[in-house]
């Protein structure tokens, strides 16, 4: 039996990884199984009709990142058929969110294509075995998590009540929203997953499921077409590399921006003035966040050539020029390592959700085209097939004798949560759980006014930014999950106390 350590969104998902390891699965198989389960059992928070990135660093090879990000739809449509079918809604979630939902907000999904490519290149057990725990949970029903119930309390009426099957899945017979802990059965979802397990991901992109998705979107004046689905391919890319102390870090490369922003923020803090969070060290941390996030907002979000701008950001941080120049949304993550030294980190998202579930599929679709604060180009996001912006940054770090898989959900807090965990663990050498639970800061550039958000317990330096201090550690600051294989201490895994999570570590 493969020995693994896994940190993921729920204990049910961690148990799925355990079962796949017992069937002979390696770190990649186990990560796919856990991620698949959490994607399909966190209604509202994530869904299979969205996007994913998977960073894999085999023990004996170079790291790669598989890009399953959503793409701009509209292949085969005339100009007057575009930019329709979306509805703007407002939720009080997270202090107030404005987003687009409906068929016109749906981008071309990439999660399944990324998972299948990862399995074909690195998996060691049959495809259908990866699906077994998820199909069983979806057929028998699963408990609604507290995090899902919290989000649905804001979003169900304006987003997820748009489809009859979706409404039936999330409500009692009297029409009231399910409570945390209630059993959820999504109509038709287990059957769709069973078809994918038996026939492969192409049934989602070219078969009956694909027809149901594209017909539903086009009937609602959305831009997603059958040609968009059939032509979609996941892309394998060399991971973005950086050295952090004794560790070598591999993260998500362009055209996604999350890995580049994370790498730049880490490089900008490579020479912290103290080996602990003094006022001077916090000043540098805040400056690094402010510079990198401001660079992203000004340069990356509308760049025609994201790779060139991202390379400029990383090089500016590496050379020390970044700080001198710039100082004046819904995701799930799984991290797995195995005793052979392979690390796999997978992050997936469906945005805030479009609320669209094609009849008979049980599959909610993303609203990534309408995720305004991330996709700032809106419905006119570029030519069909181009990838949308993403903050996701699943990462694997390695040094002689150790491999670490890590990632986080948290919308625009993904990169800052990972920055602080990696500094805590790789540079300041905190114990694994202390590195995760330590209080965090986040420079919020999402509004018209830049603000500093912070958890209590930090000696914050003087700053010209307005400051909001939370009374305790909270889910706003991400949910880091990490798995470690160390030749000296063995396997370990830890989930963030800010969010519900599950871990499993094989016993020797």
- Per-residue pLDDT, averaged over 498-502, amounts to 87
Instruction: Give CA 309 to chain center in angstroms.
Output: 22
Q: How far is CA 157 from the centre of its chain?
A: 24
3-class SS of residue 320: coil
End-to-end CA distance of the chain: give it in Å, rounded. Answer: 10
- pLDDT higher than 70, residue 325: no
The tens digit of pLDDT for each residue in 85-105 reads 999 998 887 667 788 999 999
Task: Note the pLDDT tens digit of each residue in 270-298.
Answer: 888 878 899 999 999 999 999 888 888 77
| Per-domain boundaries in the chain | 8-236+350-370, 243-332+393-505
Task: Output the pTM of the full model.
Answer: 0.93
Cα→Cα distances 334→245, 264, 346, 482, Å:
25, 23, 5, 8
pLDDT score, position 327:
36
Summarize pLDDT for 226-252 with one digit per residue, the tens: 999 999 999 999 999 999 989 999 999
Interval 117-127 mean pLDDT: 98
Check residue 310 and give its pLDDT.
Answer: 81
**CA atoms lying within 13 Å on the CB side of residue 302:** 8
Q: Report the alpha-carbon distance of residue 383 to residue 232 in Å, rounded.
A: 14
Could you tell me which CATH number the domain at 243-332+393-505 has? 3.60.20
For residues 483 and 377, the model is more confident at 483
pLDDT exceeds 70 at position 338:
yes
Task: Report pLDDT for 150.
Answer: 86
8-22, 280-294, 328-342, 473-487: least confidently modelled range: 328-342
Q: What percent of the chain has pLDDT over 90?
A: 72
Q: How far is CA 404 from CA 27, 59, 499, in A?
A: 12, 12, 20
> What 3 state SS string does 103-124 have?
HHHCCECCHHHHHHHHHHHHCC
27 pLDDT band (50/70/90 cuts)?
very high
- Cα distance between residue 53 and residue 345, in whole Å: 8
Predicted pLDDT of residue 320: 65
pLDDT in tens, 412-449: 788 999 999 999 999 999 999 999 999 999 998 877 78
Residue 326 confidence (pLDDT) above 50 = no
So what's the pLDDT on residue 302? 67
């Amino acid at each position: 039996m493969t020995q693994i350590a896994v940190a993921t969104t729920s204990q049910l998902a961690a148990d799925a990884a355990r079962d796949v390891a017992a069937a002979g699965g390696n770190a990649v198989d186990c990560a796919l199984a856990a991620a698949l389960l959490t994607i399909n059992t966190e209604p509202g928070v994530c869904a299979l009709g969205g996007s994913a990135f998977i960073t894999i660093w085999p023990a004996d090879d170079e790291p790669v990142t598989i890009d399953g990000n959503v793409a701009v739809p509209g292949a085969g449509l005339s100009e007057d058929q575009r930019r329709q079918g979306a509805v703007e809604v407002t939720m009080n979630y997270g202090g107030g969110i404005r987003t687009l939902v409906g068929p016109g907000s749906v981008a071309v999904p990439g999660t399944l294509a990324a998972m299948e490519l990862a399995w074909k290149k690195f998996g060691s057990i049959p495809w259908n075995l990866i699906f077994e725990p998820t199909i069983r949970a979806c057929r028998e029903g699963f408990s609604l998590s507290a995090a899902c119930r919290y989000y649905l309390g804001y979003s169900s009426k304006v987003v997820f009540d748009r489809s009859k099957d979706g409404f039936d899945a999330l409500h009692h017979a009297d029409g009231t929203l399910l409570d945390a802990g209630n059993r959820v059965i999504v109509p038709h979802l287990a059957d769709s997953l069973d078809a994918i397990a038996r026939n492969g991901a192409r049934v989602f992109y070219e078969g009956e499921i694909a027809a149901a998705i594209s017909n539903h979107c086009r009937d609602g004046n959305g831009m997603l077409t059958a040609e968009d689905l059939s032509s979609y391919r996941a892309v394998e890319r060399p991971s973005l590399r950086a050295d952090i102390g004794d560790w070598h870090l591999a993260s998500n490369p362009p055209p996604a921006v999350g890995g580049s922003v994370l790498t730049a923020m880490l490089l900008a803090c490579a020479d912290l003035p103290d080996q602990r969070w003094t006022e001077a060290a916090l000043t540098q941390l805040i400056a690094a966040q402010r510079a990198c996030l401001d660079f992203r907002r000004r340069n990356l979000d509308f760049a025609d050539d994201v790779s060139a701008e991202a390379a400029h950001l990383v090089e500016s941080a590496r050379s020390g020029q970044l700080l001198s120049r710039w100082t004046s949304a819904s995701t799930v993550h799984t991290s797995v390592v195995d005793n052979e030294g392979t690390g796999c980190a997978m992050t997936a998202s469906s945005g805030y959700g479009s609320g669209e579930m094609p009849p008979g599929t049980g599959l909610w679709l993303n609203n990534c085209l309408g995720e305004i604060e991330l996709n700032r180009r809106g419905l006119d996001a570029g030519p069909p097939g181009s990838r949308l912006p993403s903050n996701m940054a699943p990462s694997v770090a390695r040094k002689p004798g150790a491999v670490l898989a890590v990632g986080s959900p948290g919308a625009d807090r993904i990169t800052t949560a990972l920055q602080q965990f990696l500094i805590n663990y790789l540079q300041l050498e905190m114990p694994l759980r202390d590195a995760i639970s330590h209080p965090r800061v986040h420079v919020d550039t999402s509004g018209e006014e830049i603000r500093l958000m912070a958890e209590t317990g930090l000696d914050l330096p003087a700053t010209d930014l307005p400051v909001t201090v939370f009374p305790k550690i909270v889910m706003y600051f991400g949910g880091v999950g990490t798995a470690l294989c160390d030749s000296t201490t063995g396997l370990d895994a830890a989930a963030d106390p800010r969010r519900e999570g599950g871990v499993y570590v094989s016993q020797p």
